[in-house]
Structures are given as C-alpha cells and as structure tokens.
Homo-oligomer: A and B are copies of this chain.
Amino acid sequence: MPLGTGNPAPATGPWRVRSDGGYPGGVTFPVVGMVGGGQLARMTHEAGIPLGIRFKLLSDTPQDSAAQVVSEVVVGDYRDLDTLRDFARGCDVITFDHEHVPTEHLRALEADGIVVRPGPDALVHAHDKGVMRAKLSAIDAPCPRHRIVADPADVSRFAAEGEGYPVILKTVVGGYDGKGVWFVRSEADAADAFKAGVDVLAEEKVDFVRELAANVVRSPHGQAVAYPVVESIQVDGVCDTVIAPAPDLDDELAGEAQQLALRIASELGVVGHLAVELFETRDADGVPGILVNELAMRPHNSGHWTQDGAITSQFANHVRAVLDLPLGDPRPRSKWTVMCNVLGGDYPDMYYAYLHCMARDPQLKIHMYGKDVKPGRKVGHVNTYGDDLAEVRERARHAADYLRGTITE
C-alpha cells in the first residue's frame, strides 16, 4: 500500500494550541493541565487517554483520586499563584476539577499568556453565586427571586418582599454538595450563614416539582452540543440519582432547557462543560416551567451517566472543548441510563461488596474514585442502562445501597 504525503496542519489555526510538540518526534498532541485532583479530574484523564492527550495534574496530595492514576502529578496549593504559574509551564491549556481557584489568579495566568479554559470571565459565574445571579438576571434567564442580604434582619426583609419564610441562604463562594447552603425558617435560623464572613445570597424557596439538569459543552470557536435533559434526585442536599433522559418531561420544556443552557454558555463565554441545574415548576394553571438553580463549569455529577449512556461522555467532550477540538455526539446510546452515587457507609472496605455487585449484575458499570470510605462521602457511582426504566433504576439503586452497606442482600 503506497503511503500518501500525509495531512499536515496549517501553520496556525484555532486548534493549534502550540507548535513545539508535546511528544518526541514533533507530534503536536497537546498537554492538558488539570487543576484539582478529585474524581472529576480522574475521570477526565480516563477520557483523555484514548484521545492521545497528555494530562498534567495539580493535586493537593499524592493520594488524591486523580493523582493515583495520572503520570505527571504536581503536588501543590491551587490558591498560590506561583504554584499555578509553575504548574502551567508546559501545559497547552489549563482547566479545572473545581471552581475554587481565585479569579484574580486566573486573570494573572491569562496575563502571562497562559490559555485558561473556561476563562476567569466565565468561571467567576460558577465561583461566585452573587455574580452568577446578577448575570443570569441581566440576560433574562429565569431565576428564583434573590438578592444579596446583609444580616439576619435583612433576610427577614427579603422574606417579606415575597412569600415570607422559608428562605434559602447561600454563601456566594465556597459551597458545594449542600455545604454553604442553609434552609432558613426564621430570622434566628439565619445567623449561621453569616458566620463565615462571606457575602450571603438569599433566594426564595422554590416550590418545585423536581430537579433537572441541562448539560452542554461549548468550544472556543463557538461549537456547542447539548445532552438530553436529565432528572436529578437529591437526598440531604447531595445528588443521589440521575435519570437520563428525564422521564415524562414535556418535549417543549426539554427543548427550552437545552436552549437556555446553550444561551447561558454562549452569553457567559463558557468553554468546556456547563451544567445548568434547574428546578421544574408548575404555575397556577399547571403549566410547566424552569428556573435556574446552580451553574457548574466543569464535568458534573449530573453528567456521569454519559460515560456509559452517551456516544461521547461529558469528560471526553470537556477535553475536546478546552482544546478547541470538534465536539463529539452527545446523543444517548440506550433508551434509559440511570446513575446512582455510591456514598461511604460505616465499613471502610468496599471490595467485597463491589465483588458481590459485579457478580449479581454483569452489566453494571461501576466507577470507583480510589477514595477512602467515610460515612456520606461520595466514593464512586454506578451506571446502568436498558429499555425498562423501573428495572434499570432498581439495578443502580441496589448496587449503590449494597456498596454503601445499607442493604445486605
């Protein structure tokens, strides 16, 4: 077979992050620098392996979830600008496992000429809930009633401006998985939220039907894909189950949610994966609607189902987006996919339970994070898929409960 002349790249272009070669031999497959060593980084690395992408990790400790499986690990503090600068050297693009890197550090990196995706102008909306709500209101994205509140008395004024208590209070930065969030029934209840010395955002308690999530991925040149809208079920403020697609969701509302997420991604200049957590509501006439609850600009728990349920996973598409590679097909591969998070139980060793779950269900897709088991901590998730939602859901539920140890058969 005669060899052709190959397909050399143009000398420059939006896809060509750098031209000095990531590999020996002049091959220019790029290096992605991931800030944060959690499970999202771990699974993004996993998705980058088939893409031929080199991965460099900035991790808090050498034992972090992602640090266990990545070749190039820098142990350091992401809150330290010099550490970030050293880490970024030799990376073609910097992206994130979490939204906690101070925005001013990201701006400093960009000023150094480092490619940061998503960039600070976008990421600030995931970092700071006050900025997020202001921006969403400015672009007429439907939100719960909200405003920054100064103290408990101001919370009562906020409540009185609407339907009264209860009210939701959130620290504008630093919260996740129910932390930094308070469900407040009275002015006395409100005091805790102000103790951290961080700005506090008040939001009306939405009387929602259920929670949905619209996941989209956007690349720097503006290509974007939308995953099917999913239902997300929370227990004690932590994501418990995700069903893809959301059962019995009105088609028009699903399209509206996807359009909204795509519009937010575009208006906020997001690059990479954007999760828009939504409340599904009913008005007095029973007409369904949506309100934006939270944004996350990184792969997200509500998108873990895509690893086994979509043609291209959220992790692969996040990598593709931050490198400005063409995005992969987000469509589902099965009629139904269900994800259940695996939380730690009282017993620290899951290996036997894990073995049992594999034996019980050879189709089960287990994703373990390599994390120490602590009660209530997310240590993994399971995905199941198939044509019968009740059966698919039961399989995922059983595995998650058995792994946690809340059932023994």
Chain A residues engaging chain B, CB cutoff 8 angstroms: 1-10, 15-16, 23-30, 42-43, 45-46, 49-52, 54-55, 63, 67-71, 73, 235-236, 307, 311-312, 320, 325-329, 333, 345-356, 358-359, 362-363, 365-370, 372-373, 375-376, 380, 402, 404-408
Contact = CB atoms under 8 A, between A and B. Distances in A.
Contacts of A354: 52
A219 to B, nearest CB: 11
Q: State how many copies of this chain the complex holds.
A: 2
B69 A406 contact: no
B27 A372 contact: yes
Contact of A345 (B6, B71, B347): B6
Contacts of A15: 351-352, 355
A4 B406 contact: yes
18 contacts: A2-B406, A3-B375, A4-B407, A5-B408, A6-B345, A6-B349, A7-B353, A8-B349, A9-B349, A27-B349, A27-B373, A46-B46, A50-B365, A50-B367, A52-B370, A69-B71, A325-B355, A328-B362
A406 B370 contact: no
Given A8-B349, A28-B349, 14 more contacts: A2-B406, A3-B376, A4-B345, A4-B404, A4-B406, A25-B372, A25-B373, A26-B349, A29-B351, A30-B351, A68-B71, A69-B70, A70-B71, A71-B71
A380 B52 contact: yes
B368 A52 contact: yes
Contacts of A42: 49
B328 A358 contact: yes
A333 B346 CA distance: 37
Contacts of A405: 3-7
Contact of A27 (B6, B350, B355): B350
A13 to B, nearest CB: 8
Given A52-B380, A352-B10, A358 B5 contact: no
A29 B366 contact: no
Contacts of A348: 6, 25-27
A376 B70 CA distance: 29
Contact of A235 (B1, B70, B353): B1
Contact of A23 (B25, B307, B370, B404): B370
B71 A9 contact: no
A3 B369 contact: no
A3 B30 CA distance: 45
A160 B218 CA distance: 68
Given A25-B373, A370-B54, A405-B3, A362 B326 contact: yes
A30 B25 CA distance: 36
